[in-house]
Structure 1
């Protein structure tokens, strides 16, 4: 039986974004993006200089002006150590303000951050350092020098090198400025963030994942405050007075099993995002009962899609729970295989957030990225409204 390639249109009931335009290469893209991540954030810094940009729950906080100043000095320190435009520099910092300073310092130096989890064993960290060719690893004290800001980057240039280990070895995913900026735009549009100053409590044991980095950056882009914590003590969360709560479904459900949500928490949280794989109707009902006044978004993405791609948006019926949702942010979906015309097959994605390929792996890039489409390796079904359900995950070597 021969295989078929079938494109499936996105849902027209939810999340339309009229800013998307189709380019000559056939991809939907955001028009009018800033040329680089540094320039997007520079605008935010000048608009919101006195606002708090980053806050550690119960600890240090930095205004936009102070964060930018600190990051510029880190960039100057990197330049003094010989870091050049396009060099890779690893970030191996615990969750907190210093992680953001290190990440942005690398960006302002014109270098490429390589995100590393401090909890990884030494062998894995060294594997990523060697594979990426990292010039330095920012694992303790941050370098300082004369303030430096590179503003010459372009949309097509690599802005982040993120690693996945699904294939049994370290594989770097090249993410461009356009990938990151498009993902930021899609998150801001998805949740209808304004620039009044949201407070986004990000509950995360590490910031190594692309989804976590995009979460931080999308909050900074609109002049919000990123409140960072690894604590799963719910009482501590409410002290932040956050109106956005971002955590994995497992983290939220585990917290709710041991702590009741206070009335104050129910009033303050206006958006709740639980990123990860699909979850059951009982779990979704429990989260809605705990936060009845909030807009709920269950999102799903891969490193290769810059952490975004599908979402079960607020307003969907309980019958839709169990899917990974519908494509958004210019993402388009196709299926490949003998049953593709019946809505079953390998899931393919394309869009402005999809990576350009794998670092120094031309054959894997050629196999996984064809004609603008990324072959996820996952089997999926797509219904008539564009809702995607993962039926089996890619085998891990």
Structure 2
């Protein structure tokens, strides 16, 4: 039988940085200057950018940071009146839109743990997710309304979000702490160099997934930006021009579906102000849904933008690898960023080939109520992604 090797590719934390990383006792790199909780970070942005638009739903509400925070705190108050408090699970079962964001923030402000019910599930599958999470309350079409309330007692190690995996017959709950979320946000802001001068991010990813909620909505809020949502894709072209969009974020599959609409953006010269294109997806998404030539087509449609490809898994808060897309290669996954470190596992790990393992401050510590899956997918602090890859001398990860 071949020997299973685990070969680490450790990062060296910077000696000095605005985002200091230091290795903890468990060997994981961690940020040393995070706020205690996600709600505290968001509270700071509300006070700094109170009159700036936080979320815009085309054809629906437009909410400033002050308005969003106040409405979410009333949802939190309504939850409190229903007996919901610290540590309870609140399922978010709504279509993407401004109300989804209000519900999500309302659950956070109540002290509860939001449970993201993935988009596109059948009613029976959605019920299974809600039941598996042991949800104490479900936020649906009618949001509760009460006196404004904010629970500010959370800590970095506390469970902050239950996010379910997709792409399998049985979605599995992933526990994400405040530290996981805040680390992912810090990493994305740094890797994509997000500005604080009013970034307007057209988020086309599903909100009820780590790649949409954790890696686009929350980093946009962290820099005082505006999340723009378009329920009707037929309005995509006019939205990019009329809303002054700076950044467009989607999965490869969504980009493929919307290429005709994006071509209209180019024809109307609406693409000239777009400075960032972010194609984000988990391992299966990047493998199966990226058409040949998509990166080149997007560069042609948005020639003035920087084009980023981000890889991650729900278990890694949706992030882990990124690369500025200068070549159209479906095998390239990217370089590690933030505090994410890599290892290879398998008989050929010493020669640079094997299963990709990840660890970092953004990586979950366990699955929800599933110790067997946790034991099977973790070796110490290393998460087994299931992807067979190679890592070259420069640290670039490619799919084998």
Q: Which moved more, 1:53-62 or 1:271-280?
A: 271-280
1:305-384 → structure 2 map (5 Å cutoff): 305-313=316-324, 316=326, 318=327, 322-384=331-393
1:217-253 superposed Cα distances (whole Å, 9 cap, x missing partner) = 1111111110012333342332221101111223223
Deviation, 1:78, is: 0.4
Q: What is the SS of the residue equivalent to 1:296?
A: strand
| CA shift for structure 1 position 321 | 5.5
Is the alpha carbon distance of 1:288 and 1:363 closer, same or farther for their aligned partners in structure 2, counting shifts above 3 Å? Answer: same
Residue 104 of structure 1: CA displacement? Answer: 0.4
**What is the rounded CA distance, in whole Å, between the counterparts of 2:248 and 2:210 in structure 1?**
18
Change in CA separation of 1:265 and 1:333 when aligned onto 2, cut-off 3 Å:
same
Q: 1:235 aligns with which of 237, 255, 276?
A: 237
1:132 paired to 2:126? no
Residue by residue, what CA displacement relative to the aligned partner does 1:266-308 show, whole Å, maximum 9, x if unpaired?
3210011011215466221111111111111011110000011
Whole-Å separation in 1 of the counterparts to 2:279 and 2:171: 26
Structure number with higher relative contact order (C-alpha < 8 Å, ≥ 6 residues apart): 1
Report the Cα distance in structure 1 between the residues aligned to 2:36 and 2:163, rounded to whole angstroms. 20
| TM-score, length-scaled by structure 1 | 0.92
Alignment of 1:134-283 (within 5 A): 134-166=135-167, 168-204=169-205, 206-214=206-214, 215-233=216-234, 234-238=236-240, 239-257=242-260, 259-260=263-264, 261-262=266-267, 264-276=269-281, 277=286, 279=290, 282-283=293-294
Q: Distance in 2 between matches of 1:364 and 1:166?
A: 16
Pair 1:82 & 2:83 matched = yes
Q: State the alpha-carbon separation in 2 of the partners of residues 256 and 130 from structure 1.
A: 37
Q: In structure 1, what is the Cα distance between the partners aligned to 2:232 and 2:371?
A: 41
CA contact (8 A) 1:10 1:386 kept: no
Runs of 5+ unmatched residues, structure 2: none
Post-superposition, which runs of at least 4 consecutive aligned residues in structure 1 deviate over 6 A? none
1:99-132 deviation per Cα after TM superposition (whole angstroms, max 9, x unaligned): 0100000000000000113542221111111111
Length-normalised TM-score, structure 2: 0.91
| 1:67-106 correspondence to structure 2 within 5 Å | 67-106=68-107
Q: Give the aligned CA root-mean-square deviation in angstroms.
A: 2.0
Alignment: residue pair count: 385
- Taking the aligned partners of 2:19 and 2:50, their CA distance within structure 1 comes to 30
